[in-house]
Amino acid sequence: MSKQEKSQEREEVSLASRGGQSSVDETGEFCPKFDEHGLIPAVAIDAHTREPLMLAWMNEESLLQTLSIGEAVYYSRSRQELWHKGATSGHTQTVLEIRTDCDQDALIMYVEQQGAGACHTGRRSCFYRTISPGDPASLNFDGDRTFDPEEVYRTKA
Amino acid sequence: MSKQEKSQEREEVSLASRGGQSSVDETGEFCPKFDEHGLIPAVAIDAHTREPLMLAWMNEESLLQTLSIGEAVYYSRSRQELWHKGATSGHTQTVLEIRTDCDQDALIMYVEQQGAGACHTGRRSCFYRTISPGDPASLNFDGDRTFDPEEVYRTKA
């Protein structure tokens, strides 16, 4: 399917305007606050294990696409482009629920992680290192590789 | 205890330098990346229920204080000052574990939430609203108040 066809196929969605809110924390309208770069942080959590998988960023367009296609679409700050997670690796994230916080400047997404993992290093979660109590300059690894990133990204590229 | 005494009492901690890393995602050194405002996002998750409680920000000093005293100390972007969570409400967060991600530009903290809740609105979690599938301009509330914020903040102020 071409990009254009996919775009035409997706359901039209829109957000509420933030300007009209007297109280962002008690309103029933979704009016997310994007920062000065037009971005909002989104934390993907495994819907079944409750393990946090990654923290990435969305701009308004990526959030609308996420809502529309039901899969996580982020905004890559390094590549400065929309980033449909898993488009290369096949490790897409099916979004089951999105929550926002009192200030509406952060998002939590409960997702079904497809494939072997979320992290580009070949691990299930990006949060595979803990800070050592008493020696915060050093990290402990506790997430094993679940796939070979070189193979996955080479094959699917 | 005066501020000075508290500062003298806390254990000296330091982080690794980011400059020396050839590979931030495979290093065993903790060299967090702070953004252009000197901040890093930190997500507090209830260590027992695995419920995400809040997303807030830390600067280097607040992260060092967190590591040192074992309770969450954030940086308030609105007040532009260190924010020892619970200093007013008594709802401190005892930090059991801190994790960082592949890029070392985000933190997950597993905490024991003291008192009735983390959110200034009187709820246990700040993420008390879900986005309605099919109508993203509208939010559903699903977190009841567990305390009266006016009473808590008035009494303790």
Which pLDDT value is given to residue A86? 96
What pLDDT, in 10s, does the model give residues B11-46?
577 888 886 566 899 999 999 999 999 999 999 999
Which pLDDT value is given to residue B8? 44
- What band does A11 get if pLDDT is binned at 50, 70 and 90? low
Interface predicted TM-score (ipTM) of this complex, two decimals: 0.89
Asked if pLDDT for residue B70 goes beyond 70, the answer is yes
Q: Which residues of B touch A101 (CB under 8 A)?
A: 54-55, 119, 126-127
> Is residue A9 in some structural domain?
no
Residues 6+ apart with CB under 8 A from A8: none
Which residues face A76 on adjacent strands? Answer: A81
> Is residue A59 in some structural domain?
yes
Asked if pLDDT for residue A29 goes beyond 50, the answer is yes
Specify the 3-state DSSP secondary structure of A153.
Answer: helix
Nearest to A56 by CA among B111, B43, B127: B43
Counted residue by residue, chain A has a size of 157
Chain A interface residues (partner B, CB cutoff 8 A)? 13-16, 25-30, 41, 43, 45, 50, 52, 54-55, 64, 67, 97-103, 106, 108, 119-121, 123, 126-131, 136-141
Check residue B34 and report its DSSP letter.
Answer: P
The answer to whether B147 and B155 are in contact (CB under 8 A) is: no
Q: Which residues of B touch A139 (CB under 8 A)?
A: 27-30, 100
Contact state of B136 with A102 under an 8 Å Cβ cutoff: no
What's the rounded Cα separation, in Å, for the pair A58 and B136?
15
Write the DSSP assignment of A61-130 as a string of letters. HHHHHHHHHSB-EEEETTTTEEEETTTTTS--EEEEEEEE-TTS--EEEEEEE-SS-S-TTSBS-S--EE
Contact state of B15 with A137 under an 8 Å Cβ cutoff: yes
Give the phi and the psi of residue B79 in degrees, each rounded to 5.
-90, -10
**Average pLDDT in chain A:** 89
Which residues face A77 on adjacent strands? Answer: none
Q: ∠ CA A103-A127-A68 to the nearest 5 degrees?
A: 50
A19-28, A109-118, B8-17, B46-55: lowest mean pLDDT where? B8-17
| Residue B48 domain boundaries | 33-152
> Is residue B121 in some structural domain?
yes
Nearest CA in chain A to B13: A136
What pLDDT, in 10s, does the model give residues A115-126?
989 999 999 999
The answer to whether B45 and B111 are in contact (CB under 8 A) is: yes
> Is residue A15 in some structural domain?
no
- The total domain count for chain A is 1
The answer to whether B30 and A136 are in contact (CB under 8 A) is: yes
CA distances from A72 to A67, A109, B37, B104, B141 (A): 8, 9, 27, 21, 23
> Is residue B23 in some structural domain?
no
> Is residue A5 in some structural domain?
no
Q: Which residues of B touch A119 (CB under 8 A)?
A: 101-102
Which pLDDT value is given to residue B48? 96
> Is residue B134 in some structural domain?
yes
Check residue B146 and report its DSSP letter.
Answer: -
Which residues face A135 on adjacent strands? Answer: A132
What's the rounded Cα separation, in Å, for the pair B29 and B153?
39
Looking up residue B74, the CATH number of its domain turns out to be: 3.10.20.810
Specify the 3-state DSSP secondary structure of B48.
Answer: coil
What pLDDT, in 10s, does the model give residues A69-86?
999 999 999 999 999 999
The answer to whether A119 and A125 are in contact (CB under 8 A) is: yes
CA distances from B32 to A83, A137, B9, B98, B125 (A): 24, 10, 25, 12, 26
Which residues face B130 on adjacent strands? Answer: A99, B140
Nearest to B105 by CA among B157, B56, B42, B52: B42
Looking at residues B72-99, what average pLDDT do you find?
96
> Is residue B145 in some structural domain?
yes
